[in-house]
């Protein structure tokens, strides 16, 4: 039995997750190219395989696949498929130099590409420039830590748009953080890092910061603002935008009556944590749809900011992942 695999058709639909999910995909990561099949033709756009055992395909009688990936071809494409199935509010990755270049060549929309500064990525950079995709450099260790698939020369991010205004951020929806009245720049950087790594869509700050203070925040966040919008605004503006775009506002404060795991943290949501001493401002508490409390059983009056943000961030991520959004 012969199968023609039109790879360019699959790639052209990678960015549209629902379309890709409609393709019949048969994967053989455990079969090498000399077992049970023969590669009759291997071109840049089409692969033709001859199967000697139809039962090995995992298909019903008379059923034909739309795409067949085998061995190294499966591993090369799996990052594209993973990215295509990411929820709209979560960032996805395409990992590996070849996979990123193929995505660009086939019109997949990428938000940003990260490259190892010690490798020659001239060809990839040219593709990014033509597609107007921003390129960030990092060390091999940086990419290893960021990659979902271990050490890589290049990574591409999808599903993480760098909106530049409060209006665009709130119109896009998802999980947005407000660090209400938090002044200490290093604490803000740590909190932004936690928000980014837990899959948030944006961070909003309602404090005024000098250029030097913003540099401190950026360094403390491990330059997380490369991957998540950080918007400076005022409290009235963020509350107005949240309500106008159908966001639920959930604040963490001692006056809360239930834990974050007892509150719905999915959908379009503005998560609010205040400064350690002052807490969430009365203006925000009055506008909040729900107030949660982190349980404590000691004599110190509160957790530090990083603990509060981390607990709420992980719980929000857990809930969103359990619902696939």
Domain ranges of the chain: 2-79, 86-158, 166-323
Contact 96, 147 (CB under 8 A): no
| In the predicted structure, residue 56 carries a pLDDT above the cut 60 | no
Q: DSSP code of 54?
A: G
Q: DSSP code of 226?
A: G
Alpha-carbon distance 317 to 325, whole Å? 9
CATH superfamily of 166-323: SPOUT methyltransferase, trefoil knot domain (3.40.1280.10)
Q: Are strands 112-116 and 46-51 parallel, antiparallel or unpaired?
A: unpaired
Q: Do domains 86-158 and 166-323 have the same CATH topology?
A: no
Alpha-carbon distance 64 to 62, whole Å? 6
Q: Note the pLDDT tens digit of each residue in 227-272.
A: 889 999 999 999 999 999 999 999 999 899 899 999 999 999 999 9
Instruction: Give the confidence band of 28 by pLDDT, cuts at 50, 70, 90.
Output: very low
| In the predicted structure, residue 64 carries a pLDDT above the cut 70 | no
φ, ψ at 6 (rounded to 5°) = -85, 90
Q: What per-residue string of b and e applies to 195-204 under the rule 16 or more CB within 10 Å gives b?
A: bbbbbbbbbb
| In the predicted structure, residue 30 carries a pLDDT above the cut 60 | no
Length of the chain: 325
| In the predicted structure, residue 51 carries a pLDDT above the cut 50 | no
Q: DSSP code of 231?
A: E
CA 190 to chain centre: 18
CATH superfamily of 86-158: Ribosomal protein L30/S12 (3.30.1330.30)
Q: Please, which residues have CB within 8 angstroms of residue 298's CB and are 6 or more apart in sequence?
A: none
Q: Please, which residues have CB within 8 angstroms of residue 34's CB and are 6 or more apart in sequence?
A: none
Q: Are strands 230-232 and 202-205 parallel, antiparallel or unpaired?
A: parallel
What's the whole-model pTM score?
0.63
Alpha-carbon distance 158 to 182, whole Å? 30
């Amino acid at each position: 039995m012969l199968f023609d695999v039109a790879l360019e058709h699959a790639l052209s639909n990678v960015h549209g997750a629902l379309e890709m999910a409609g393709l019949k995909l048969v994967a053989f990561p455990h079969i090498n190219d000399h077992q049970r099949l023969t590669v009759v033709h291997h071109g840049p756009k089409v692969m033709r395989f001859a199967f000697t055992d139809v039962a090995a395909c995992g298909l019903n009688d008379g059923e034909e696949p739309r795409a067949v990936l085998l061995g190294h071809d499966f591993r090369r494409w799996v990052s594209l498929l993973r990215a295509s199935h990411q929820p709209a509010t979560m960032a996805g990755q395409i990992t590996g130099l070849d996979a990123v270049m193929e995505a660009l060549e086939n019109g997949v929309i990428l938000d940003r590409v990260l490259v190892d500064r010690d490798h020659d990525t001239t060809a990839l950079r040219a593709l990014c420039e033509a597609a107007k995709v921003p390129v960030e450099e990092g060390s091999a260790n940086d990419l290893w830590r960021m990659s979902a698939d271990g050490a890589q020369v290049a990574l591409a991010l999808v599903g993480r748009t760098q909106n530049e205004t409060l209006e665009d951020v709130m119109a896009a929806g998802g999980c947005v953080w407000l660090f209400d009245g938090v002044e200490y720049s290093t604490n803000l950087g740590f909190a932004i890092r936690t928000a980014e790594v837990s899959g948030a869509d944006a961070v909003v700050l309602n404090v005024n910061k000098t250029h030097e203070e913003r540099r401190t925040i950026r360094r403390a966040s491990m330059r997380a603002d490369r991957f998540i919008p950080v918007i400076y605004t005022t409290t009235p503006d963020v509350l107005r935008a949240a309500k106008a775009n159908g966001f639920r506002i959930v604040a963490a404060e001692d006056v809360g009556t239930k834990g974050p795991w007892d509150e719905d943290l999915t959908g379009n949501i503005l998560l609010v944590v205040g400064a350690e001493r002052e807490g969430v401002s009365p203006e925000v508490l009055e506008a909040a749809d729900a107030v949660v409390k982190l349980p404590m059983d000691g004599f110190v009056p509160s957790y530090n900011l990083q603990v509060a943000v981390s607990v709420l961030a992980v719980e929000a991520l857990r809930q969103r992942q359990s619902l696939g959004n």
